[in-house]
Amino acid sequence: MSRGTFPDGFVWGVSTSAYQIEGAHTEDGRGPSIWDSFSDAQDACDHYHRYPGDVRLMKDLGLAAYRFSVSWPRVLPEGSGRVNAAGLDYYERLVDELLAAGITPYATLYHWDLPQALEDRGGWPERDTALRFADYARIVHERLGDRVHTWLTLNEPWVAAFLGYGAGVHAPGRRSAADAFRAAHHMLLGHGLAASALRSAGAARVGAVLNFAPVMTPAQVADPARPLSEEDAEAVARIDELTHGQFLEPMLRGRYPERLLKVVESAAGLGHVRDGDLAAIAQPLDLLGVNYYAPSVVRAQPGSPADPAYPGSDGVLFCTVPTAVTAMGWPIVPGALTVLLRRLSREYPDQELMITENGADFADTVTGDGIHDVDRVSFVEEHLRALLAALDEGAKVRGYLLWSLLDCHEWADGYQRKFGIVHVDFATQRRRLKDSALWYRDVVRRNGLGDRRPRRPTLETVAARAKVSRATVSRVVNGDAAVRPEVRESVLRAVKELGYVPNAAARSLAARRTDTVALVLSIPRPDDALTAAVVQYVPSVLEGAGKQITLMLADTSESRRRVVQHVEARLADGVVLLPTDGADPLAERLARTDVPLVLLGRPAIASLVPYVDADNTGGAAAATEHLLRQGRRRIGLICGPTHLVAVQDRMAGHRDALQRAGLLPHVALAEDTPDSGASALTRLLADDRRLDAVLATSDHLAIGALRAASEAGLRVPDDLAVVGFGDIEAAAYTTPPLTTVRTPATDQAMALARLLLSRLEGRHTTPVVLPSRLITRASA
């Protein structure tokens, strides 16, 4: 191969999954899946009705392969028994459309959407589910087997088992290590039985898709050959067996790793592993699908509790790494793909491989002249170069299927994630090709990478888009408050649309680097879990990247003046700022310097400064929708203080959810104390004695509401449901335990550090908004 060119016959395509794009969840006899119960994909991308246009898009891009998944509940609404002919008719139409367009179909039979009827009978922890899966495989092959020649049984069984049954963050939301291990084994058994059934029916090629996250220490991210201490080597090996060996070894060698069996036995026993199971699982694989996004980074740390997603991981710390990240917070480490493929080729030399998923979530902006997703192009290109390096070493990789064709419903994260190379306007279902789609089309046409890299916009480009002078753009970029608001808004819009990265930081740092970062706390809040997480984890990540940390308080006018002097004197390469709530003059002043700055929390006024925040709007909407699903219709809101941006966002999420249900909000303002929350609920009850639920914008307010409800003689939740926000430590110990919205403190801290590192590297950065999660307890 020449530099940048892939082998002849290399397969280029894209991947999707049924639940994420089909929509039509209640049409033509489809039954509910566990994801319908756990999340809400609404109409998703309406691929069920719009597949002809989506196939035309694939054809226009020159793609040779389309990996889609078959929805089990669309074919068998009850999971077994009655076959829904209309469901099979749909997949027949889709396959025929693909073949007519010259696109090879790759059918995945299970991409996490277990029929709810089977979950009600025990789900994957029950052996019978594996038997029903084999029956389902036979039924689908009987209809499509004459046209579909490559069948993939499972997609990422580790995710389905350990995030769904172990950690509870995916459907069906269980938190049981025993259930997770049993589910994993029965998925493997289902794979083996289905593979045997498919081959008996004449299937040409049968494979499976696993998620791969090469396990390494922080030092190995930069140097994969770095030797490990005995303790770190043991930690890496243990997580590797839980993630990879648990599935690779049974599938390809008919055995479980001995050390893993000890972990399984202690958590779940071994009664579910019966004689003959491993022989049934170890069906020859014609193709092993490799899904790669990021590595797992760990090190030994005695005393660390086990991660629920990794039962048996006691004493292992999952680390962040000092590298650029996607909008989802995942580290960008293309070289780990080369390491992974090198290892698979060494340990399983005869196994044919295909990259079945690889892609990234980045924030996109739709403009009149396109969607300029430079970072996605850069991500894919870097990973294709890593793939080329592995191919040059002899890796047997026959193709690359990018994730994903369309922006879609990203499982528990909903619609906020954008992995597609085709933008979808979910209100109108209009499709638009992003720059990444056009770039990928060119890669496919020449079967390789070009020499030219995507060009990033300049200050002049922004000025032309905003129809202002270059000097005006420079003033806005540097935080000049004297610029008229409408001009500022126009420039900021152009910056966002074009993905412009100010070069001032790069110029100043090129002239002088200190390898020091200032961590500035505007208001010391020692009892705040988020501040504590930032103080703990931001220095850890940045020190791992070779930075020294200067901790500075900015709680008085004099201390704020010293911070500005420190930064203007170029005594720091970058600044992490925990600003005051609301508009913060210190943030505005620091933004005018040439030093990269990142903020914790969404600022009150739009600016060029990237920030990290939790999805307060989505969290409040999820809490309100939970109450509505329970039949609550007279829902009060206790909120305050309302000058806080986070509280404003929570109010907006609650209001929007009520409006969608045709209801009006009932609001009581309060200070952020239990006593104030109790007083606010008393006022709400005085206005409406039929109030049947209350959402508070903080747990402190909700705890006060619980007390006031008890004093009023109301039973919680029978008479009144109560939901808080924040999941403070006390929330689980109230009477009754408080339903609340958990905001990810540690993840926000990690994201802050990574965001600053991305700015220091000169990468385009956008705000990072991390998902909140409703924690349902007895109060609601």
Catalytic residues: 156, 357
Count Cβ atoms within 10 A of the Cβ of residue 455 and give its class: 0-12 exposed, 13-18 middle, 19 or more buried.
exposed
Q: Considering only CA atoms, which of 184, 161, 187 is closest in space to residue 174?
A: 161
Residue 93 and residue 58: Cα distance in Å, rounded? 16
Give which of 402, 458, 404, 359 is closest to 764, Cα–Cα. Answer: 458
Residue 220, amino acid: Q
- The answer to whether the beta carbons of residues 208 and 296 sit under 8 Å apart is no
- Within 13 Å, how many C-alpha atoms sit on residue 130's CB side? 23
Tokens at 391, concatenated: 């191919």
User: Residue 352 CB: number of other CB atoms within 10 A?
Assistant: 15
Q: Residue 762 has what DSSP assignment? A: T
Instruction: Give the Cα separation of 334 and 674 in Å (integer).
Output: 49
- Of 78, 73, 83, the C-alpha closest to 30 is 73
Lookup: tokens for 484: 């008229």
- 708-711, long-range: CB < 8 A, 24+ apart: 708/677, 708/678, 708/679, 708/681, 708/682, 709/681, 711/678
Which among 275, 293, 432 is positioned nearest to 355, based on CA atoms?
A: 293
Classify burial at 92, counting beta carbons within 10 Å of its beta carbon; exposed 0-12, middle 13-18, buried 19 or more. middle
- Cα angle vertex 108, ends 106, 112, to 5°? 155
Peptide bond into 172 cis (omega under 30): yes
In sequence order, the 6+-apart residues with CB closer than 8 A to the CB of 262 are none
Tokens of 599: 């903020």
What single letter denotes the amino acid at residue 648? Q
Half-sphere exposure of 673 (CA within 13 A, CB side): 4
Cα–Cα distance between 779 and 724 in angstroms, integer? Answer: 10
Between the alpha carbon of residue 358 and those of residues 20, 138, 446, the distances in Å are 16, 29, 20
Single out the residue of 318, 325, 319, 296 nearest to residue 757, CA to CA. Answer: 325
Which tokens go with 488?
Answer: 């500022």
CB 272 within 8 A of CB 127: yes
